[in-house]
């Protein structure tokens, strides 16, 4: 109990203590509430007082910022209005008056002013001032660029071009054609100038570089042509002295330590040209040349050689220019501009070469109109060379399809090829028409090979030298066989040969009709047919022709046999006297037995036979000595045929009657022995015999 009482007393005391503390807390709470309420009132009053001041301060700050921006704008704009006056003395003196970067910085200031006025005040007179000054400065920069390029641009000497043309055929190690180095200072200036010019006046930059370099390429090519023309023989024009030392963009060989002598270069160039020009056109005739009245406009072999060399020289110069832009001029000529510049700078030189080729083709047209068809043969080496060089030129022009590239450059050579092909096609067709329409009735008096036949066959033989490109120029008449053929060049040529020979055969038939002597007519046809056949067999024409007409040789052989048969009939008047037609004449035995009993009729018959034979063989010798058979094989063959045909028969006749006493003066009638008859026959077809 007592514990409970103590615990109650303790709890009571604690309760009173807690009440006392609660009373103090309530008192403190009231005091704090009073303080906070007072603070809130003061804060409200402060807010009412400070709010307007804050807003006014904000407005003042905004005005200050606007003022600062306005001042900054004035600081930005005012230089645009004063830049023309400030920079005019500097710009006018040009880029030589200060470092290029500083001058370009001033030019950029003018450009910024132009951009500002164009955007904000296009009617401002200041725009005209800064634009005029900017143009003036740009012109001076372009002039400086042109001057730097010009200082390092010289035409390539002809002797260097000869080395470039000959380069790939050199059997010895020779330095590659590399441009000489440009001083680093000039290269650095060129880079800065080109970068600025491309950004500000790309068109003028492209025009400036391309015009300067195109003059170099064209001048180099023209000097090379003049050097060729001035050469008296071969390629002696390379005797010129070496180029003087210079700093140049022109492709050169370093110091040319392995200079080749003119003769070795000439030989190498001729070896190179043999790929496109037959040997006989380069001096050594392996076959007959076609006799004709030279057209005054005809091109010479030398001229063709020079032209082909010029085409190769053009390619070398063009390739050097491209390598120049991609190599030494790297960083100066932007990649995006290289092909455009290249297409423009090669245009004049390309036009020069192509125009010369078209001029040659035009002269050939005029010559073929005058029936000088051999002049057309000169176009084949050009066509062949163009075909062989086309891939090389295509590689150079690869990528020249962007805007700004001249389409003429890309199609120039192809246009020349088309011109050459059409000219040759027309010439070959006119050649056939000329054969068909040659109505000249003048025929050789001696029945020899007609000049037309000779010219036609020689032309065909010479044409076979260009077998690899003939399908490009020959009109194909039989498309089915052409499409089936594995060698279209040969088949096209075979068809052309067939057409020519058919036309020639018709013409020769008409010409042979001009002979009153049917035997001379046979000799004429025999000569011409034999010449045609022999030419076909001697050359490659026969094998080519067999691809289209396998029976052609048999046809000619039959015609030869037929004309020999016709010619042999010329001996019928001689044979008439020495061949026994009837069997009434006495046999040798009976005559011997009755030698003294020959009747007058028999004696007169023998006299008439010998007299007639003597007369006819003399007449035949007189006539046929004037016959001409230029081919020795055919001539000897005919003589042998005549001898085999006549001599045995005359010997039989001679042995039968020469010993008979049919006349008191036998020598008057028996003039020739069989051997003498043989010798007479051997004198045929020889006017000097």
The Cα 178–Cα 167 span in angstroms is 13
Q: How confident is the model at residue 294 (pLDDT cuts 50, 70, 90)?
A: low
Q: Cβ contacts of residue 114 below 8 Å, gap of 6+?
A: 127, 130, 131, 134
DSSP notation for 464-500: GGGGGGGGGTSPPS-HHHHHH-S-HHHHHHHHHHHHH
Closest CA to 302 of 380, 232, 223: 232
What are the backbone angles phi and psi of residue 6, rounded to the nearest 5°?
Answer: -65, -40
422 neighbors 361 (Cβ within 8 angstroms): no
The Cα 333–Cα 161 span in angstroms is 25
Pull the structure tokens for residue 322. 């491209």
Closest CA to 145 of 196, 181, 91: 196
The Cα 127–Cα 123 span in angstroms is 7
By 3-state DSSP, what share of the chain in percent is helix, strand and coil, each rounded to 5? Answer: 75, 0, 25
Q: How confident is the model at residue 354 (pLDDT cuts 50, 70, 90)?
A: very high
The predicted model scores a pTM of 0.74
Q: Would you state the pLDDT for residue 441?
A: 81
Which of 22-36, 61-75, 619-633 comes out lowest in average pLDDT? Answer: 61-75
The Cα 249–Cα 332 span in angstroms is 13
Distances (CA, A) of 620 to 397, 572, 674: 74, 11, 16
Helices (H) and strands (E) in the chain, counts: 22, 2
Average pLDDT, the chain: 82
- Give the Cβ contact number of residue 612 at 10 Å: 15
- Give the Cβ contact number of residue 587 at 10 Å: 10
Which of 49-53, 247-251, 341-345, 669-673 comes out lowest in average pLDDT? Answer: 247-251
Q: Give the helix ranges, DSSP H, for 121-183.
A: 125-151, 158-166
643 neighbors 581 (Cβ within 8 angstroms): no
Closest CA to 684 of 630, 614, 626, 645: 626
Q: What is the largest CA-CA distance in the chain?
A: 223
Residue predicted with more confidence, 499 or 393: 499
Q: Cβ contacts of residue 192 below 8 Å, gap of 6+?
A: 100, 101, 104
- In the chain, the domains with their CATH numbers are 2-151 (no CATH), 158-269+299-432 (1.20.1280.170), 438-568 (no CATH), 579-682 (1.20.1280.170)
Q: Would you state the pLDDT for residue 404?
A: 55
321 neighbors 217 (Cβ within 8 angstroms): yes
- Give the Cβ contact number of residue 432 at 10 Å: 17
Residue 306 has pLDDT above 60, yes or no: yes
The residues with which 179 forms a beta bridge, in sequence order, are: 251
How big is the chain, counted in residues? 689
The Cα 217–Cα 155 span in angstroms is 7
Residue predicted with more confidence, 281 or 645: 645
The Cα 689–Cα 385 span in angstroms is 52
Mean pLDDT of 7-22: 88
Mean pLDDT of 8-17: 88
pLDDT in tens, 441-477: 889 999 999 999 999 999 999 999 999 999 899 998 8
Alpha carbon 674 to chain centroid, angstroms = 68
Residue predicted with more confidence, 58 or 221: 221
For residue 521, give the 3-state DSSP assignment. helix
What are the backbone angles phi and psi of residue 685, rounded to the nearest 5°?
Answer: 60, 25
Q: Would you state the pLDDT for residue 493?
A: 93
What are the backbone angles phi and psi of residue 402, rounded to the nearest 5°?
Answer: -80, 170
Which of 10-24, 107-121, 295-309, 640-654 comes out lowest in average pLDDT? Answer: 295-309
Residue 490 has pLDDT above 70, yes or no: yes
Mean pLDDT of 137-149: 91
The Cα 531–Cα 628 span in angstroms is 13
The Cα 352–Cα 308 span in angstroms is 13
Residue that is written with structure tokens 């000897």 in the block: 636
What are the backbone angles phi and psi of residue 550, rounded to the nearest 5°?
Answer: -75, -20
Q: Would you state the pLDDT for residue 152?
A: 84
What are the backbone angles phi and psi of residue 242, rounded to the nearest 5°?
Answer: -65, 160
For residue 260, give the 3-state DSSP assignment. coil
317 neighbors 165 (Cβ within 8 angstroms): no
Q: Would you state the pLDDT for residue 482?
A: 82
Residue 159 has pLDDT above 50, yes or no: yes
């Amino acid at each position: 109990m007592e514990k409970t009482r103590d615990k109650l007393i303790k709890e009571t005391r604690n309760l009173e203590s807690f009440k006392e503390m609660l009373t103090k807390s309530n008192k403190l709470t009231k005091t704090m509430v009073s303080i906070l309420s007072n603070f809130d009132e003061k804060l409200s009053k402060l807010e009412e007082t400070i709010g307007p001041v804050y807003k006014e301060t904000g407005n003042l700050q905004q005005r200050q910022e606007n003022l600062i921006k306005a001042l900054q704008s004035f600081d930005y704009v005012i230089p645009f209005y004063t830049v023309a006056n400030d920079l005019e003395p500097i710009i006018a003196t040009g880029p030589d008056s200060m470092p290029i970067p500083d001058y370009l910085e001033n030019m950029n200031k003018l450009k910024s002013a132009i951009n500002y006025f164009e955007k904000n005040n296009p009617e401002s007179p200041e725009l005209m001032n800064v634009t005029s000054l900017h143009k003036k400065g740009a012109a001076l920069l372009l002039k400086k660029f042109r001057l730097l390029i010009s200082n390092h641009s010289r035409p390539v000497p002809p002797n260097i071009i000869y080395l470039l043309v000959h380069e790939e055929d050199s059997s010895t190690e020779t330095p590659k054609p590399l441009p000489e180095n440009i001083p680093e200072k000039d290269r650095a200036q060129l880079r800065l100038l080109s970068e600025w010019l491309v950004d500000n006046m790309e068109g003028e930059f492209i025009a400036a570089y391309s015009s300067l370099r195109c003059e170099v390429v064209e001048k180099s090519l023209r000097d090379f042509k003049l050097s060729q023309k001035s050469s008296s023989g071969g390629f002696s024009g390379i005797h010129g002295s070496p180029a003087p030392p210079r700093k140049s963009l022109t492709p050169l060989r370093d110091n040319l330590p392995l200079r080749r002598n003119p003769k070795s270069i000439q030989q190498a160039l001729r070896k190179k040209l043999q790929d496109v020009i037959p040997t006989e056109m380069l001096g050594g005739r392996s076959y007959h040349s076609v006799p004709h009245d030279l057209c005054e406009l005809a091109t010479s072999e030398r001229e063709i050689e020079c032209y082909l060399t010029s085409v190769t020289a053009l390619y070398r110069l063009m390739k050097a220019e491209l390598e120049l832009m991609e190599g030494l001029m790297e960083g100066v000529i932007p990649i995006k501009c290289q092909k455009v510049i290249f297409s423009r700078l090669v245009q004049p030189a390309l036009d020069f070469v192509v125009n010369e080729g078209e001029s040659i083709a035009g002269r050939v047209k005029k010559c073929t109109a005058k029936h000088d068809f051999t002049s057309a043969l000169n176009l084949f080496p050009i066509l062949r060379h163009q075909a062989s060089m086309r891939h090389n030129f295509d590689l150079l022009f690869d990528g020249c399809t962007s805007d700004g590239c001249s389409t003429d450059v890309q199609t120039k050579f192809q246009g020349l090829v088309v011109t050459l092909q059409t000219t040759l096609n027309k010439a070959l067709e006119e050649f056939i028409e000329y054969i068909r329409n040659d109505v000249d009735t003048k025929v050789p008096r001696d029945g020899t090979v007609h000049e037309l036949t000779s010219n036609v066959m020689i032309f065909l033989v010479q044409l076979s030298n260009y077998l690899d490109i003939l399908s490009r120029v020959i009109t194909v008449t039989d498309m089915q066989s052409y499409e089936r053929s594995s060698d279209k060049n040969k088949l096209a040529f075979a068809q052309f040969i067939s057409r020519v020979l058919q036309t020639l055969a018709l013409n020769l038939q008409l010409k042979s009709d001009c002979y009153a002597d049917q035997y001379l007519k046979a000799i004429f046809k025999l000569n011409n047919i034999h010449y045609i056949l022999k030419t076909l067999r001697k050359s490659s024409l026969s094998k080519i022709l067999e691809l289209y007409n396998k029976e052609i040789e048999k046809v000619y052989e039959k015609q030869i046999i037929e004309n020999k048969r016709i010619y042999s009939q010329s001996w019928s008047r001689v044979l008439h006297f020495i061949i026994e037609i009837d069997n009434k004449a006495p046999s040798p035995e009976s005559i011997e037995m009755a030698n003294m009993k020959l009747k007058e009729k028999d004696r007169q018959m023998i006299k008439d036979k010998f007299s007639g034979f003597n007369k006819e063989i003399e007449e035949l010798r007189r006539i046929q000595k004037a016959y001409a058979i230029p081919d020795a094989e055919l001539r000897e063959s005919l003589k042998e045929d005549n001898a085999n045909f006549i001599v045995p028969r005359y010997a039989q006749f001679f042995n039968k009657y020469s010993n008979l006493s049919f006349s008191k003066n036998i020598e008057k009638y028996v003039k020739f022995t069989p051997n003498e008859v043989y010798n007479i026959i051997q004198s045929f077809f020889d006017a000097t015999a």
